[in-house]
Amino acid sequence: MEALVKMNKVTKIYKKTNPGLRKNSVNNIAVDDISFAIARGEIFGLIGESGCGKTTLVNLMLGLIKPDRGEIVIDTVDITKLKSNREFLPIRKRMQAVFQNSSSSLNPQMTLKKIITEPLKNFHLPEQGVAEELLEDVGLSASWILRKPAQLSGGQRQRVSIARALALKPDFIILDEATSNLDVITSKQIIDLLKKLNDKYKMMMLFISHDIGVVDDFCHRKAIMKNGEILEIVKQFGPPENHHPYTQKLLQARLHI
Ligand SMILES: Nc1ncnc2c1ncn2[C@@H]1O[C@H](COP(=O)(O)OP(=O)(O)O)[C@@H](O)[C@H]1O
Ligand SMILES: [Mg+2]
């Protein structure tokens, strides 16, 4: 397995200081000594309850924040050692993220064509025909290029966010709770779409969810996260008793729905 992303003993601490009590500061270890690797082309699921540190992990990978300790190696480059945005840009271009609220942040004044090709414009790359092709890729019609976000449903808007993320043909896409705002059926449709896109473009996907049920047969491997730590990484969930007690709880809760 050739790793595209390697997290090596990564720790991120948010320093909480209570302005009233100068000495009483409590540190919040959002990501606690985490190590794992994700292979090129792999769909990797990360599951954990709200506040366990998933988005912090994403922000670390995207280079938006620096870890207190540890290495984050993308391909062969440890991005924690990069000094400037300029150095980071070629790597940044190869990773894209879609967030829970991505679709609500689509500029309402812009046409789908403009929205989808904006990343290409930023990198001075050719735009001809790309929006049409990507709209088809995400299961929308190429004839929609002049529509605006308000004319679409929530699920369709999230498809547009995915199309925009694909524009630069990234090596990997991070989907941080990207289907969490959608109803069960729409969410399932988006996951089927992601599977198809992974087949077609072979890009790595990091799919993040608080819901263990969503990732089961979709992700090649899944990691269970709690309190800033990864408790276990599995290919498949077996009988609950084979798992970490916390994973057991998640699996049992799912059985009872
Ligand atoms: N910018 C920040 N400043 C201080 N604390 C933060 C910040 N971002 C997140 N946290 C804290 O770090 C922990 C992990 O948050 P987050 O990574 O957003 O979790 P998740 O995405 O799993 O819900 C939480 O306790 C959260 O309150
Ligand atoms: Mg989050």
85-120 pLDDT tens trace: 889 999 999 999 999 887 788 999 999 999 999 999
Residue 194 lies in a domain: no
CA distance linking residue 166 with residue 171, whole number of Å: 9
pLDDT of residue 103: 76
Residue 210 lies in a domain: yes
pLDDT of residue 24: 54
Kindly give the distance from the C-alpha atom of residue 177 to the centroid of ligand 2, in angstroms, as a whole number: 7
The token pair at 73 is: 């190696």
Kindly give the distance from the C-alpha atom of residue 75 to the centroid of ligand 2, in angstroms, as a whole number: 25
User: Ligand 1 pocket, 14 CB below 6 A?
Assistant: yes
How far lies 202's CA from each of 43, 93, 117, 128, 193, in Å?
9, 17, 21, 23, 13
Q: Tell me the best of 13, 29, 32, 56 to mutate to test the pocket of ligand 1, counting ligand atoms within 8 Å of each CB and taking the most.
A: 56
User: Is 170:162 a contact under the CB 8 Å cutoff?
Assistant: no
- For the chain, what is the mean pLDDT? 92
CA distance linking residue 239 with residue 151, whole number of Å: 45
Residue 190 lies in a domain: no
Residue 124 lies in a domain: no
| Helical ranges in 167-231 per DSSP H | 184-201, 212-215
Kindly give the distance from the C-alpha atom of residue 201 to the centroid of ligand 2, in angstroms, as a whole number: 26
pLDDT of residue 199: 93
User: Ligand 1 pocket, 213 CB below 6 A?
Assistant: no
User: Ligand 1 pocket, 61 CB below 6 A?
Assistant: no
Kindly give the distance from the C-alpha atom of residue 7 to the centroid of ligand 1, in angstroms, as a whole number: 18
The token pair at 97 is: 């993220």
Which residue in 228, 240, 251, 256 sits closest to 30, CA to CA?
Answer: 228
Q: Which atom of ligand 1 is nearest to the CA of 58?
A: 17
Residue 25 lies in a domain: yes
151: pLDDT strictly greater than 90: yes
Kindly give the distance from the C-alpha atom of residue 144 to the centroid of ligand 2, in angstroms, as a whole number: 31
Instruction: Tell me which of 173 and 239 has the higher pLDDT.
Output: 173
- Position 20 confidence tier, pLDDT thresholds 50, 70, 90: low
Q: Tell me the best of 13, 14, 226 to mutate to test the pocket of ligand 1, counting ligand atoms within 8 Å of each CB and taking the most.
A: 14
Query: Judging by DSSP bridges, how do beta strands 229-234 and 77-78 pair with one another?
Result: unpaired
How far lies 22's CA from each of 14, 26, 115, 216, 230, in Å?
16, 11, 47, 46, 33
Residue 243 lies in a domain: yes
pLDDT, tens digit, for every residue of 36-62? 999 999 999 999 999 999 999 999 999
CA angle 202/72/170 to nearest 5° reads 25
pLDDT, tens digit, for every residue of 152-172? 999 999 999 999 999 999 999
Nearest Cα residue to atom 5 of ligand 1 = 14
pLDDT of residue 27: 82
CATH number of the CATH domain containing 83? 3.40.50.300
Residue 105 lies in a domain: no
pLDDT of residue 22: 57
pLDDT of residue 213: 85
Q: Which atom of ligand 1 is nearest to the CA of 49?
A: 22
Q: Which atom of ligand 1 is nearest to the CA of 16?
A: 4
Give the range of the structural domain holding residue 62, as residue numbers without chain letter: 1-94+206-257
User: Ligand 1 pocket, 228 CB below 6 A?
Assistant: no
pLDDT, tens digit, for every residue of 138-149? 999 999 999 999
The total domain count for the chain is 1
Question: How many CB atoms are located within 10 Å of the residue 11 CB?
Answer: 16
214: pLDDT strictly greater than 90: no
Residue 15 lies in a domain: yes
Q: How many residues does the chain have?
A: 257
